Amino acid sequence: MNKDVIYIEPEDDITDIITKIENSKEKIVALVPPKKAGVFRSIVNIKLITKAGINAEKTIVLVTTDPSIIKLAAVTKLPVTKNLQSAPVMPKLDEESDTEAVTKEEVIEASGKDKAEKVIVKEITVESADEDSEDDENAEKVDEEEAGDENSDNGEKAEKKKRSSDKKSASGNKFIDWIKEHKKISIGCGIGLVVLILIAIWAFAIAPAATVTVGVRTVENNFSQGVTFTDNLSEENVNEGKFYLEEKKIESKKEVEFTATGSRNDGEKATGQVVIYTYFREQGDVAISAGSTFTINGLSYVLDNNVTLSWNQDPNECKNTGEASSFTSGCLIYEHVSVTAAAPGEKYNIAASSAGWSTNARVSVYSDSAMSGGTDKMVTVVQQSDIEKAKESLSSEDESASKEKLLATIGEDAFVIDSSFKQTVGNVISTPAVNEEAADGKAKLTVVTTDSIYIIDKTKVEEFISEKAKLADNYKIYKMNDPFIENFMNTGSGYTGKLKTSYVSGPKVTENDIIEIIKGKGLGVAQHDLKEIDGVGTIKIDVSYPWVMSIPGDPNKITVIIEVEE
């Protein structure tokens, strides 16, 4: 079954406690009194708590180990437990405890009722060992007189209460009596004292801190060592100065749009026939190959098929029609052959013409019929001059900018071989290509550039330099300038180069060493001890506040700065 745990505050009175019990939603309510539980040292209050539990139909359990409260709980038969994990028990009141209690009748107004109800109860209070029994008896008598004589004179009651209060306050110690008499001053002095103590704790225990700056005398050294490289990881041997090369690449594509200015007629080609002829002579047949060209007025027509002119009859039966100046004998041989215009266009549709024809074949030619079927269909195409012009705006990105972009993709743990940077510009591609139709007259030029560089493990390089520097055990490298590779080249069997850098070395001084030497010491002693360290130069100690005259003993409050003095 669940229980409700209620922690009672020192300032809570009996009314507050009963209200908390009534407001609880659990059937079991555990009350945890504070250390100074004055309200729980009255039998009347304990009985009211017990009655409030009965009225609210709740089981009340006191969580306490205070013997005084346990004795009062035994009188009212209120369960008690020593902690929230232990089972509650019903305490028993032995005879000895009972004889130590004194009783008196007191009128108490019950809480939690709509109508006030006066209850007569006997209050049992346990006397403390250090109380003055006589003063308490006198005080009780005064209380009884005040409770029993409601009609007595107010002045007389006030006088009796004052005398009772005076008796209680008198302790026999003048200092204590003065404090009781001057409570406000005492409280103010107490608060001031606490503040002073807190300030002292802060000033001398919390606030002190120190920053120690130590200069270490060093020397600068140059480093130069021939090394080799491999692109096979299994062949790497750092001890021998052979490092694994890793290539980093980045591709960048640049595009530019341009206007195509070329044109082409994609219409139909004209076709027709021409007559080719020659004179048969002793030389034999005349063969004309397909593709032979016949031209008239700048318009060319191409022979569609191979043709052979021959004379199969008796030469004496032919009539020599050749001119005397050109031919001495022969027979006229001719044939109609098919031709196609060399290009499309309506201009190739021409009428028959017996003159003006020329050819590269060993025949003569004329036409006895018209050429027809040629049409015009003009389209825009890319020409080479368009591409060359577009290249001017497609110039490759500046190498330095490309290099910076590539280096930005490489982590800080990598050692970059700067001289291995290479930029490769790919072929310029036109879409559409030269002499191809450009839709809407627009075309695009594209080029892909590849930037590459080699890197090696930076940690391995620094380890190699430290190993080859061969410093004494009590010396170390404080600063290493960025190493670089000189004369990086491919020899055919592998890559070689010279590793160069400079480094600053000096006696080994660590932060922990300094802290162990100075913690908890006075400023002068700390400075003297630091000067005894080999290699230590200038020393500066800054404390957090002027009143701090020593180094804190807590290492967390000591800041060490080691500066290199070259």
Look at residue 96 in the predicted model and tell me its pLDDT.
44
DSSP state of 194: H
Element (H, E) at 132: none
CA distance linking residue 35 with residue 37, whole number of Å = 6
The fraction of the chain above a pLDDT of 90, given in percent, is 19
Mean pLDDT for all residues in the chain: 79
Look at residue 284 in the predicted model and tell me its pLDDT.
63
Residue 277 backbone dihedrals phi, psi, to 5 degrees: -150, 160
- Specify the amino acid at residue 217: R
Look at residue 1 in the predicted model and tell me its pLDDT.
60
DSSP-derived pairing of the beta strands 378-381 and 262-265? antiparallel
Look at residue 316 in the predicted model and tell me its pLDDT.
58
Any bridge partners for residue 119, and if so which?
108
Going across the sheet that includes 210-217, the strands are: 536-543, 210-217, 558-565
- Break the chain into its structural domains and give their ranges: 3-130, 135-170, 173-206, 272-356
Cβ atoms 203, 547 nearer than 8 A: yes
Q: Poorest-confidence range of 136-150, 172-186, 244-258, 361-375?
A: 136-150
CB atoms within 10 A of CB 406: 19
Cβ atoms 309, 288 nearer than 8 A: yes
Candidates 516, 529, 528, 524; CA nearest to 549 is 524
Residue 122 confidence class, pLDDT cut points 50, 70, 90: very low
pTM score? 0.43
Could you tell me which residues come within 8 angstroms of residue 375 by beta carbon, excluding any fewer than 6 positions away? Answer: 267, 268, 344, 345, 346
Ramachandran sector of residue 135 (left: φ over 0; alpha: ψ -120 to 50; beta: rest): alpha
225-239: per-residue pLDDT in tens?
Answer: 999 999 888 989 999
**Higher per-residue confidence, 73 vs 97:** 73
Look at residue 268 in the predicted model and tell me its pLDDT.
95
Cβ atoms 212, 536 nearer than 8 A: no
Look at residue 469 in the predicted model and tell me its pLDDT.
85
Cβ atoms 77, 42 nearer than 8 A: no
- Specify the amino acid at residue 515: I
CA distance linking residue 460 with residue 499, whole number of Å = 12
- Nearest-Å Rg of the Cα atoms of the chain is 59
Whose structure tokens read 């890197």?
455
- What are the start-end ranges of the H helices in 295-438? 384-391, 399-407
Examine the pLDDT at 480 and tell me if it is beyond 60: yes
Examine the pLDDT at 121 and tell me if it is beyond 50: no
353-398: per-residue pLDDT in tens?
Answer: 988 999 988 888 999 999 999 999 999 999 988 888 888 776 655 7
Q: Which long-range contacts (CB under 8 A, 24 or more apart) does 348-351 make?
A: 348/269, 348/270, 348/299, 348/301, 348/374, 349/270, 349/373, 349/374, 350/270, 350/296, 350/297, 350/299
Examine the pLDDT at 341 and tell me if it is beyond 60: yes
Examine the pLDDT at 325 and tell me if it is beyond 80: no
Look at residue 171 in the predicted model and tell me its pLDDT.
55
Q: Poorest-confidence range of 29-33, 34-38, 241-245?
A: 34-38
Look at residue 109 in the predicted model and tell me its pLDDT.
35
C-alpha distance from residue 382 to each of 125, 139, 378, 390, 403 (Å):
115, 122, 13, 11, 34
Look at residue 563 in the predicted model and tell me its pLDDT.
84
Look at residue 314 in the predicted model and tell me its pLDDT.
59
Q: What is the mean pLDDT of residues 548-561?
A: 86
Examine the pLDDT at 168 and tell me if it is beyond 60: no
Look at residue 319 in the predicted model and tell me its pLDDT.
53
449-459: per-residue pLDDT in tens?
Answer: 899 999 999 89
DSSP state of 11: T
DSSP helix, strand, coil percent of the chain (3-state; round to 5): 30, 35, 35
Could you tell me which residues come within 8 angstroms of residue 49 by beta carbon, excluding any fewer than 6 positions away? Answer: 14, 17, 18, 21, 31, 60, 76, 78
CA distance linking residue 17 with residue 2, whole number of Å = 20
Cβ atoms 519, 558 nearer than 8 A: yes
Residue 342 confidence class, pLDDT cut points 50, 70, 90: very high
Examine the pLDDT at 338 and tell me if it is beyond 90: yes
CA distance linking residue 375 with residue 228, whole number of Å = 71
- What are the start-end ranges of the H helices in 429-476? 458-469
Tell me the DSSP string of 234-295: GG-BGGGTEEE-EEEEEEEEEEEEEE--EEEE-SPEEEEEEEEEEEE-TT--EEE-TT-EEE
Any bridge partners for residue 478, and if so which?
none
Q: How far is CA 217 from the centre of its chain?
A: 39
Look at residue 204 in the predicted model and tell me its pLDDT.
65
463-479: per-residue pLDDT in tens?
Answer: 899 888 888 888 888 88
Residue 92 confidence class, pLDDT cut points 50, 70, 90: confident
**Higher per-residue confidence, 323 vs 247:** 247
Cβ atoms 101, 67 nearer than 8 A: no
**Higher per-residue confidence, 294 vs 553:** 294
DSSP-derived pairing of the beta strands 558-565 and 210-217? parallel
504-554: per-residue pLDDT in tens?
Answer: 888 888 888 888 888 888 888 888 888 888 778 888 888 877 777 888 888
Could you tell me which residues come within 8 angstroms of residue 30 by beta carbon, excluding any fewer than 6 positions away? Answer: 3, 4, 5, 6, 61, 62, 63, 81, 84
CB atoms within 10 A of CB 337: 21
Residue 85 confidence class, pLDDT cut points 50, 70, 90: confident
Could you tell me which residues come within 8 angstroms of residue 45 by beta carbon, excluding any fewer than 6 positions away? Answer: 14, 17, 39
